[in-house]
C-alpha cells in the first residue's frame, strides 16, 4: 500500500495500475517503458496542465463536438490508467470507442474485452457505449503492417479520432487517410506530437477530465464560436510554445540559487 502522504503518491499509483494491467494481460511489457518516457517529460513540464496544453484541450473539445463521427481509440496504457474517463467522454459524444493495440494478441484482446464488460457491461448492453476494434477489426489502415493497421468499419469511417498515446507511424497514416487526429502525448518532440492535427502535451489522466469538462460546455456553445476556436489554433506554434516553456522553466530552475539537486 502506498501511503497517501507520499510525495509521489499519484505517480506511484499510476505505476501500480499499470503493473496490475500487465498482470491482467491488458498491457504489453513495452507499455511500461512507454509510460516511463512520458514520466520523464512530465518532470520537465512540471507535472501540471500548462496554459499551452489548455489551449490544445479547448481546440480538441471543439473539434470533437463539431465532429460528425468521432471515435476514441484506446490502447493498453489508456485502459489501465483511464478507462472510466474514456467511457465518460465517449458517453458525452457518440459512445464510440475503438481498441487499438500496438502488440495485438488474441489474449490481450480478450483481456481488454473482459475489462470493458466487467466494468461497463450495462452501458454496452444498453448501447450507451460501443466497443470496436476487437471482433470487428476487418478494415485496414493503408500503408501500415497488418496487425497495427487493423481497424473497425466505425474507425475507418470516423472523421475525428482521439488517439491518446498513439505511435508516430499510425498517426501519420491516419492523417494521410484524411482524418483529424487529436493526440495526447507528454513528449512534444515525438513523431505523434509532430504529425497530429491537435497535440495535447499533457498527462493523460490530467487531460481527460478537462476534455470532458470542455466537451460538456461546448455542446451548449454556439457553433460559430467553436469553428473560431479551431481556426485560431495552430498546432506547430503550440508545440513550439511548449518547447520554449520547458526551456525557460529549466533555465529558471538552473538560475535559482536555492535550487537543490
Which residues lie near ligand ATP (CB under 6 A)? 34-35, 37-38, 41, 77, 81, 165, 167-168, 184-187, 190-192, 203-204
Q: How far is the CB of 203 from ligand ATP (least distance, A)?
A: 4
Q: Using the minimum distance from each CB to ligand ATP, give the nearer residue, 152 or 194.
A: 194
Residue 98 or 202 with smaller CB distance to ligand ATP: 202
Going by C-beta distance under 8 Å and a sequence separation of 6 or more, which residues neighbour residue 200?
53, 56, 57, 60, 182, 183, 184, 185, 207, 211
**What is the closest distance, in whole angstroms, from the C-beta atom of residue 158 to ligand ATP in the complex?**
20
Q: Which is nearer to ligand ATP, 97 or 226 (CB)?
A: 97
b/e per residue, 83-103, with b = 16+ CB within 10 A? bebbbbbbebbbbbbbbbbbe
As a whole number of angstroms, the distance between CA 94 and CA 129 comes to: 8
Residue pointed to by grid coordinates 494521410: 176
Q: In 227-258, which positions are buried (b, 16+ CB within 10 angstroms) versus exposed (e)? A: eebbeebebeebbebbeebbeeeeeeeeeeee
- Which residue is associated with the grid cell 490502447? 75
Contacts with 15 (C-beta within 8 Å, 6 or more apart), sequence order: 35
Residue nearest to ligand ATP (CB): 38
Identify which of residues 81 and 87 has a Cβ nearer to ligand ATP in the complex. Answer: 81
CB of 35 to ligand ATP, least distance (A): 5
Judged by CB, which is closer to ligand ATP: 2, or 227?
A: 2
Least Å distance, CB 165 to ligand ATP, is 5
Which of residues 25 and 168 has its CB atom nearest to ligand ATP in the complex? Answer: 168
d(CA 99, CA 77): 11
CB of 37 to ligand ATP, least distance (A): 4
The three three-digit cell numbers of residue 97, written as one number: 470507442
Question: What does the alpha-carbon distance between residue 240 and residue 34 come to, in Å, rounded to a whole number?
Answer: 23
Shortest Å, Cβ 26 to ligand ATP: 15
Amino acid at each position: 500500500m502506498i501511503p497517501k502522504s507520499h510525495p509521489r503518491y499519484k505517480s506511484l499509483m499510476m505505476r501500480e495500475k499499470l503493473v496490475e494491467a500487465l498482470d491482467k494481460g491488458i498491457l504489453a511489457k513495452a507499455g511500461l517503458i512507454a509510460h516511463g518516457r512520458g514520466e520523464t517529460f512530465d518532470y520537465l513540464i512540471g507535472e501540471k496542465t500548462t496554459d499551452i496544453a489548455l489551449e490544445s484541450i479547448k481546440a480538441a473539445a471543439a473539434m470533437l463536438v463539431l465532429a460528425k463521427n468521432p471515435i476514441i481509440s484506446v490502447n493498453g496504457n489508456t485502459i489501465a490508467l483511464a478507462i472510466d474517463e474514456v467511457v465518460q467522454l465517449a458517453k458525452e459524444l457518440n459512445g464510440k470507442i475503438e481498441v487499438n493495440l500496438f502488440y495485438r494478441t488474441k489474449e490481450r484482446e480478450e483481456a481488454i474485452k473482459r475489462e470493458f464488460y466487467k466494468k461497463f457491461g450495462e452501458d454496452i448492453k444498453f448501447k450507451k457505449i460501443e466497443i470496436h476494434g476487437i471482433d470487428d477489426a476487418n478494415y485496414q489502415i493503408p500503408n501500415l503492417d497488418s496487425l497495427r493497421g487493423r481497424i473497425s468499419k466505425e474507425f475507418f469511417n470516423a472523421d475525428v479520432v482521439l488517439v491518446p498515446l498513439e505511435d508516430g507511424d499510425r498517426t501519420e497514416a491516419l492523417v494521410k487517410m484524411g482524418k483529424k487526429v487529436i493526440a495526447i502525448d507528454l513528449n512534444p518532440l515525438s513523431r505523434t506530437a509532430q504529425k497530429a492535427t491537435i497535440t495535447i502535451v499533457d498527462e493523460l489522466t490530467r487531460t481527460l477530465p478537462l476534455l470532458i469538462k470542455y466537451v460538456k460546455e461546448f455542446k451548449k456553445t454556439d457553433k460559430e464560436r467553436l469553428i473560431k476556436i479551431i481556426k485560431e489554433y495552430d498546432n506547430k506554434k503550440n508545440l513550439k510554445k511548449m518547447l520554449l516553456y520547458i526551456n525557460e522553466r529549466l533555465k529558471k530552475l538552473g538560475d535559482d540559487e536555492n535550487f537543490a539537486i
